[in-house]
Amino acid sequence: MLKILVSLTLFGLLAGCVAAPVVPPIQGPKAVIDDSYLREGQGQAHFFYVESIDGKWVKNTYSETYLKSISTGAAFVMTGQSRELRAEDTRLALVGRIGFAVGLQEMMYSGERYLVEGSVNFSPKADTHYLVKGALTPEGSAVWVEDTQGNLASSVVGSEQAYVSDIQRRGVGMDVDGESGNNSQSSARDALFASIQSGESSDAVKARMGEPDRYSRQDPNPLLVGRKGYSSYHYDGLGEVQIRDGFVFRILPQVVIPNELADIRSGLYTGDSESLRQLAQNLFKVGEARQDALDLVAQRLWDGKAEEGHNTVDAMAWFCRLLGKSGNSRYRKLMAQLEQQAETRKLRRYAGNALQELPVSSVEQFEPRQG
């Protein structure tokens, strides 16, 4: 009964939003701003969006995704949103929040850690494309506006440290006064590709990366009712961006098994959750066995033991399989700790399985760095 009440309440709120008047086309100098999201499973995502412009509510990726997902059960139909705005001083209400297709799950996650909102003064430049970006973490959350080159274009709402951590992860970013957030990396092509986020428009991708090296098209499968086709933008040496209905819905970075430890460390802590999962699967397939490399994986496992996103938890499970496959007893203590302390049942199960694979031995045990 409570689930029905939550769903009806959400539907009523969103239906009221849809009744908002249509905004006429903007005449004169204008800019464009896109919402974005990070999908963490079929029915879970982080949303970053404009809620209102100068006090007037606007359709956004959060409201439109929920409207299109009403009849899909526990799965989201992710929907991007983009809108024009005048190239003049304006006031934006920004929101970053976690969302679940099942309403009761969202109620469990409500609170400061996974919801950040506030208003910012914004002075867009004419003929410029902007993006709403953000970060939601247990340590702190933030939402902001940046341009397609990763430069900060508004003040940060929420945790400044969450913003700094995000731009350092991506290797881009400058502060609102024009000071570089990460030295010369802000203009690096690979860093810009790493900054592409689901929900951005195809125009934003081209503004950031230029024209793709080639295009491809995947037509819809006639046997899958309601499944749409999509276009792919291929950037040589970087990866593939998949576009559906004019918006990014999947980014597939080119995965290369790194040989250098620095590259492995970078792969473990940069990129999105899907890239992390691909790296974990590939390391398992090649049977990475160098102890110094496995120590990096073990540290990432410890650092990620409280993470709950679908793709991230799947990556952690692959890392457990890798350590178990190694047969190196050095990781028995870590697996025993994860079996007891990991946040998700899946990770606890895989840690337990890996523990069973590792022989009992008196070798020195891996000790993770704390904090």
Q: What confidence score (pLDDT) does residue 171 get? A: 67
Q: Sheet containing 239-244: which strands, arranged edge to edge?
A: 214-218, 230-235, 239-244, 247-253
Q: What confidence score (pLDDT) does residue 189 get? A: 83
Considering the entire predicted model, what is its pTM? 0.69
User: Domains of the chain by range and CATH?
Assistant: 2-21+31-200 (no CATH), 261-357 (1.25.40)
pLDDT less than 70: residues of the chain:
1-23, 103-113, 171-187, 223-227, 255-259, 271, 371
CA-based end-to-end distance of the chain: 42
Q: What confidence score (pLDDT) does residue 168 get? A: 76
CA dist., res. 300 & res. 274, Å (int) = 15
CB 279 within 8 Å of CB 268? yes
Tell me the sheet residues that pair with 119: 93
Q: Shortest CA distance to 195 belongs to which of 175, 230, 169? A: 169
